A and B are shown apart, each in its own frame.
Chain A
Amino acid sequence: MKDLKHLYYFEKLLEDAYNDLVRQAKDEGKVCVGSMCEYTPEPLLNLPGTFSVRLRAPRTGSMEMATYYLTSLLCEYSRALLERAMEGGFNFLDCLIAPDGCTMINRCAENMELLHTMSAGKEHFFHEYMEVPLKADDNGLNLYKVQCTNHILNPLKEHYGIDTSDEAIRSAIEEHNKVCSLIRAIGDYRKELHPKITGYEFHIITLASYVVPKYLIIDKLQETLDELAEREPDTKDKYRCRVVLVGSEIDDVDVVKLIEDSGAYVCADRFCYGSFPGRNPIEIREGEDPLTAVCRHEMYESQCARYMNMEKMLGRRSLVDELAKEYKADGIIYEQMKFCDPWAYERMVGTQVMREEYGYPVLAIDRPYAVGNSGQIRTRVQAFCESVEIKKIQGGGR
């Protein structure tokens, strides 16, 4: 296929946390809100006068300083972020709002605060920690609204004079939905048997939407969507099978690339920093205030493994099944970053359930934060593709 016009542009944006668009928004006088997890609802961080950047540490090398503080037993995502913060790589932030989601990210954020990695010399800088629901129910929703008010809206208003009114939240939701609908429409091209977009390209575009001011990429997303309508797909299928990629946080641009280079087309992305559920538009129901709409959406749509009620646990696996059907997947790849407790369990159970109860071929892998060109993962994906092919030849079930 012919290269997408803006792919290189998006790739460049992902090379540095403090990318060109973040610089541009900062130059415009906007407040940059750092977040570390999907539990911090994006629209509330993208009010008029603010924009959010979800933290990642591209081109991570040594993590020695962070390993001293966090030990080598915490996941590399948390260590890479702390290392980058200590190096000064997040000095552009004006505040950091972290949920007490998983323990490791929480400890990472607390170490950032204790080490004054970003706050030194900034009069208005603040750290906030949110309690976030563990179950999706009415009590959880009430908690979420209180927490978003006390730890996002009020501090932004008090420290930076940001307008946190319902109108402001509504406009943020509108902008958020615009980005989501564009990404969803772009992602729909993955359903085709000869897809017009690769999983890698889609991952780059989706990833970029988490780490730049949204209003600055809407035009590029629209142009990409228009371009895809005309794009000629490869007629000769270079992939051996189609997979749904499910699991913990992936902000490394090489993960999907490596899987696709090994023969498996990533037709759906169910992971943090992916488009499911992160790029589902938010619906404001009749008579509902926008804050409630955001919290309800985040709580009920979230697929975080940390949700503990039975409906959520079972729902996580049935969603994977739905995605696999909708995007015509031949198999599932469950991935987990090493030392991630929530996904260690969800990967184990999900692998067994999707294989035994839903009948999919499943590959389970654990991985470092930056996979690079991992020979181990490549070999495992290649072997998985081969097993799926053999099953197809033998005419067995999925």
Chain B
Amino acid sequence: MSKELGSERLGDLYKPGGKVRRRREWRGLRDTLYDYSRWLHIMGILAKFIIVPRNLKAMFRYRWMANYLAVPMMIDRHTAGLRGPQLRICHTEYDLITYDVAQLLSNLFKGDRHLGNDKKLSDKTVLLDENEMTVFMMGFPNLKGLSRETPSVYVSVLLNQHAVEHYLDVAQEYGLTPDVCPMPAAEAGVSMDDDFPVLGACAVQCNTTCDGSLMGNGVISKRLELEDGVPCFQLAAPMRHEADDVQEYAAQEMKNCIKFIEEKTGHKWDWDHYFKCAKQVNESTRHRQEWLDMSKTDYPQVIGANLALYTETNYMAICGRVPAFLDADRKITKLAEEAYRKKTKVCKEYRHRAIIWGVQSQYYTEFLPWLQNCWGILPLTDMLSMVSTRVLSEDDKEMAYYDMAWLNSHMIMRNRTHGGYKVLLDDLWEFCEEFHADMVILWEHMSCKALTGMHGQFEEKAREKGIHLIWVSHDLMDPRVIPRQDVRDDVNRYMRTVLREEPVDPSLEVLDDVHSW
């Protein structure tokens, strides 16, 4: 137990059968104090949130709100084993995301017909799909783009692995087959269970992730439009998004979407604000590219969970609309550059350089720090972070529609799971070369047809190229199907039987965290 990397047996922190860990990690005096100060900061955000009476009421109105008690624990899980700059990068990201989600919740409950019923706020709210690039809000500075699914489903599972099991059961009791992706199924379940806040002048849905998501939105829009009276626009993103002959269609969809929002809210599109946001997107892209460039060297700095969750949030949900994220980008780059110059290590041992591919398990996002700490596998980058690096026009209005459409159709995940096999299959091997990776950890989300439909091709190509390919199966949001230990065992088995290695931290190999948050 010291400031040295790997100085503590991290598995010993887990209490068998418990929800929380035994105690906080000791990281040496300076890092422990820093970590504790951030813990206090998070508690401060939560306290400020909960003293608002309607937010407190929301804790009792919405079943999924109870998961937010686990926010500090979630951050602790993602900082496991980190020291120095990586610890600071992680807190920079997660503190900001926590604040942003708290703001989202506050706004949702303020406008919610069940709670705050603030009509003024509701009338300037556009409900957004969880899986949607928020690009079409970049030119509406006076409107609020709020997603109901993000806090109720997406974030809830990050906080508590069992968060949406109830909603999955609701959907299945209603007649949904259990073999579809649990994310849209859970969202549909929340809608059926009447557990979404109800507000908004209009809603924009999309088809971005998959057939299941597209269809699940049909369940939600039926209720939203026909029962709650909130008009919905379905924003279609082309499936073969790389093709030239779909771009005009996509751009026209974007124009139609913006027109719909203007009609329903009475607000006009503001080009100046759009281009301001576009500049921020471009700068964020440059930062992300810089972090990725570092990861191609022997001294990667922004990797694993530090890269994945932050990129998802910043790229998809923020889209240049929140200046605080740009400040965070700059701070992360500064920390990373300094650490790179000092050749700072991320974890105790570097044994394998891995690309994480496929769709991550939402109930086990701290799997990436686990790879570092348990086996010395560096998760250099992941599929969801390898998103568009296109530079957006900062002054051409017609081009801007094409840029927005491009970003929309290149939403995280679907920019790889759709668009033809090249972006999913061929690009992976190119990234392996670029990042000097000897290993691919391939998430096999068992309900994701786009991924599993390339199963055999991945195996054949990995064999051909001599890359260690480790399949890690999961069911995205339902740990009852594949528990976290089974996820870990996929790696443990390969490392012991094929590579004949011993873990860096043996205490992490088997953890009793089936009941844990």
Contacts and interface: CB of A to CB of B under 8 A. Distances in A.
Interface of A: 68-71, 73-74, 78, 100, 102-104, 106-108, 110-111, 114, 129, 131, 133-135, 139-140, 142-143, 146-147, 150, 305-306, 308-310, 313, 336, 338-339, 341-342, 344-349, 351-352, 364, 366
Contacts of A352: 174-175
Contacts, number: 150
Interface string B222-253: 10010000001010101110010110110011
Contacts of A341: 180-181, 210-212, 215, 449
A310 B173 CA distance: 24
Interface of B: 171, 174-177, 179-181, 188, 205, 207, 210-212, 214-219, 221-222, 225, 232, 234, 236, 238-240, 243, 245-246, 248-249, 252-253, 256, 418, 420-421, 446-447, 449-450, 452-457
A134 B214 contact: yes
A309 B233 CA distance: 8
Contacts of B452: 70-71, 73-74
A150 B246 CA distance: 11
Given A100-B418, A104-B449, 15 more contacts: A68-B455, A70-B453, A71-B453, A108-B453, A134-B234, A146-B248, A306-B211, A308-B218, A310-B232, A310-B234, A313-B221, A339-B179, A345-B176, A345-B216, A347-B177
Contact of A347 (B175, B245, B253, B418): B175
A305 B215 contact: yes
A73 B218 contact: no
A100 B239 contact: yes
A134 B207 contact: yes
Contacts of B450: 103, 107
A310 B205 CA distance: 11
Given A71-B452, A114-B457, A341-B215, A129 B240 contact: yes
Main secondary structure of the interface of A (DSSP, over half): helix
Contact of B234 (A102, A108, A135): A135
B193 to A, nearest CB: 15
A139 B246 CA distance: 11
Contacts of B455: 68-71
Ranked nearest first, the 10 interchain pairs of A and B with the lowest CB-CB distance are A107-B453, A69-B456, A345-B215, A341-B211, A348-B175, A134-B236, A100-B239, A143-B249, A71-B452, A341-B212
A345 B218 contact: yes
Among B174, B212, B239, B256, the one with the most A-chain Cβ atoms within 10 Å of its Cβ is B239
B236 A133 contact: yes
A104 B451 CA distance: 10
A68 B236 contact: no
Contacts of B180: 341, 344-345
Contacts of A78: 453
B171 to A, nearest CB: 8
A131 B456 contact: no
A366 B177 contact: yes
A146 B239 CA distance: 15
A313 B249 contact: no
A12 B234 CA distance: 45
A118 B406 CA distance: 34
A140 to B, nearest CB: 8
A115 to B, nearest CB: 9
Nearest to B210: A103
B370 to A, nearest CB: 25
A308 B217 contact: yes
Contacts of B418: 100, 103
A342 B212 CA distance: 6
A344 B457 contact: no
10 contacts: A104-B449, A111-B453, A111-B456, A131-B249, A140-B236, A310-B221, A342-B215, A344-B180, A345-B219, A364-B175
A68 to B, nearest CB: 5
A345 B455 CA distance: 25
A131 B240 contact: yes
A231 B462 CA distance: 62
Contact of B454 (A107, A135, A147, A308): A107
A139 B256 contact: yes
Nearest to A132: B239
A78 B9 CA distance: 48
Given A345-B216, A349-B218, A352-B174, A310 B225 contact: yes
Contact of B246 (A68, A110, A143): A143
A360 B478 CA distance: 34
Contacts of B246: 131, 143
Given A131-B239, A134-B207, A310-B225, A114 B421 contact: yes
A344 B188 CA distance: 13
A313 B211 contact: no
A108 B450 CA distance: 10
A110 B207 CA distance: 21
B176 A348 contact: yes
B245 A147 contact: yes
Contacts of B171: 348
A347 B232 CA distance: 22
Given A131-B243, A135-B236, A308-B207, A338 B179 contact: yes
A71 B444 CA distance: 11
A114 B175 CA distance: 37
Contact of B446 (A68, A73, A108): A73
Contact of A139 (B179, B222, B253): B253
Nearest to B174: A348
A70 B253 CA distance: 32
Contacts of B249: 131, 139-140, 142-143, 146
Contact of A308 (B236, B238, B240): B236
Contacts of B449: 73-74, 103-104, 107, 339, 341
Nearest to A114: B457
B199 to A, nearest CB: 20
Nearest to A309: B234
Given A150-B245, A344-B176, A74 B453 contact: yes
A348 B174 CA distance: 7
